[in-house]
Structure 1
Amino acid sequence: MDENVSFSCDNLQMLVIDEADRILDMGFKSQVDSIVENLPRERQTLLFSATQTRKLEDLVRVSLKEPIWVSVHEHSIKATPDQLVQNYFVCEEEQKINMLWSFLVNHKRKKSLIFVTCCKQARQKQNKRMEIFHKFNRNFRGAAMIATDIASRGLDFNNVDWVVQLDCPNDVDDYIHRVGRTARMNHKGESVLVLTPSQVAFVEMLANRHVPICKVEVDMDKLVDIRLKLSNLMIPFPQLKDFAQRSFVAYARAIYFMKLKEIFDVNKIDFEALASSYGLAVTPRIRFLRKEQLKGRTEVNLYDADDISGDSEMVEKIVSCSEKQSNSSACGGSSGDEGDDLLKITKRDVFNSVDSATPKDELLARISTNKVVKQTEIAKKVLKRGIKRNKSIKSA
């Protein structure tokens, strides 16, 4: 609109924004503002969404004056359709794969949409996405598609029988959009939410938003255990092992960066059992998690040495990079994980064993005892870089 001078919107009478709550997010602020600036002031604006926003600043951004709220189920107490049956059950992280396989085996003739947190093809081309969408949409029985939240909005699938949320959604709004893929246009539908013991508090959040959901008990002994089959399948197909390792790390990363920290706690995951459920004999190393844990400790900047507190009970003992490297095997770190920060606080003198030295003196003493660089090492670096030394020119 800004680049093509022949593109005119003077005759525009109506602006329609679907999924308005997501479009009006701050991530699209510049795009929305740019479009609105090119539109005439006299127009009608319509915002559509299953979870509409009432933030005044969002409405002002699209130049709404005296907005009128219209709801399809205006007099309904529930936030979801009445013909939608919603259930949830609790299981451990390592049982999710077995649960999914058992569900698919028992619902072979049903059309199911499974939502997960991590994606396999983040850079998949749009043509490929559309091909998968149409293929799943044409099937009415015996079809299952695994997708992320990108499929929870703006897509109308025909006759979806089940919505399985294998991973807990980020918030209640995402839950409503996920289950909205079934029970559409007065058709019946069912959904099941899989929660871990640490995520049970999410049910209370659903109740506060008037989302009716019932707990069902699942006999874990009747689940089909496919861990051994997965492990054996990775022997002739090494690429599956690489994919499982990347999926393992991606899931841990997704849980760590969730906003609802009281529900999503990465420290409560049994990583060894989770890796076994993926068919992995060895638990993959989660380097980013080690980095974040190290960054969570108090860091000392060399330029802020004067600001260190003088309380002897809270004197911080600083270790250098050489000491960290010697202890890396004990703490599970690696050289790649430890290269970001020079100095980190690893322990405190809570027994008041350092009385004479102040924190500033101790820090300076540590710095002064760094390894001395020899002239031979400097000469080797100079020769390696091809730097020519200066020559003295004697005057005649």
Structure 2
Amino acid sequence: MATFRRLEGDEVVQQATAIDHAFGSGAGPPSYDGPEDVRDRIAERWGLFEDGALVSTCALYDLRATLAGERRPVGGFAAFATPPEHRAADHGERLQREALRVFRDRGYPYAALWPNSIPYYRRSGWGLVHAETEYRFPADALPSANAEGAFERLTPDDYERLLPAHEEWAAGYELALDRSARWWRERTLDDDWIYCWTPTDSRCSSVEPGLTQLGRTPADAEVPAGYVVFRLPGESEDGSGATMVVDELVYRTEEARRQLLELVRRHAPQVDKVRWSAPEETRLVHDAVDPKAVTATVEPGAMGRIVDLEAAIECLPAERTPERPVTVDVDDPLLPANDATIRIEPGPDGPTCEPTDAEPDVELGVGLLSKLYVGTLAPSTAADRGLLAATDDAVADLDALFPERPVYLTDFF
């Protein structure tokens, strides 16, 4: 009989060893002196046990993210590893099912993960919800900007200074995370260089000691227009030169974007190239002084999954109400509660739904529905591409329920 539960004591060492085997460098078996020697995690450590043996493990995150236009609880699934001696069985599938049930019991309508194998998770009902652009370029390929306003170096403890810029930027993306203080310090800003940029505000005349050299006023100091977080790891192992890795570049205005890229450009004397991953776009290719020096590669991003079908539909806002009822048959290979036919009804406060035995207007898998739900593509687009079979009226109703919008899971976990 398999049991899924939180890990205790030396079990965290077993999990860490399994994770190192699955995702480590391959330099050799790691050794741990005990649980206190295992890196602390923000997430909860869970495992699937069979006859007392730990046969598969994962980490579960309690997250908050933009979902259906509001900040809502979202489950994060990570650190999924099964020791090789247990991989012949279906332990991984069972662990996923139990993890999703935990999220469902906690009232999470949706979950997300960063996949190491997209085909594997697709078979389990996850959908690829966004892509991202990885830019590689020499720093001097960026256009020069006139030095206006001021840059200031910050520390992880200054994260609150960055909140207005991040919240405004992240509001434009479905699944953008709401970061806790610990997340900011340990995940976003730890071991990185952090610079914010603030415009000069000529309306303020009084200047506190120490601010004059930065060219800013006290009011400016509280409201950065953007920030950049980057690493300077030094010479690369492959001998290709020093690489500056931009982990995050966030801006509230176009001027802030230009100034932050100017700060990156100023590193040209000390780095051979820059690597920056951003939401899917090609803008930098057009903006660069030498577009041919910029390589833009589109990479798959995160995957998402509906955890509770009825709860997900019923938390949609009122403006998403369809004009008429639509019956949808959903195929879910992991969660029987989602493997159902539901009737979605228009309502004054938003759509409602309930199980039905009626003939469906639409049939689709939970992976595609999970993509439609967050807005990765519109249902009409899915129908045009042959991914969705439905009547014209049903497609129109689904378009009302699931409009296309930008999706970007802002944090890796």
TM-score range, shorter chain: under 0.3
- Higher strand residue share: 2
When the two structures are superposed, what TM-score results if normalisation uses the length of structure 2?
A: 0.21
Q: Which has the larger radius of gyration?
A: 1
- Higher helix residue share: 1
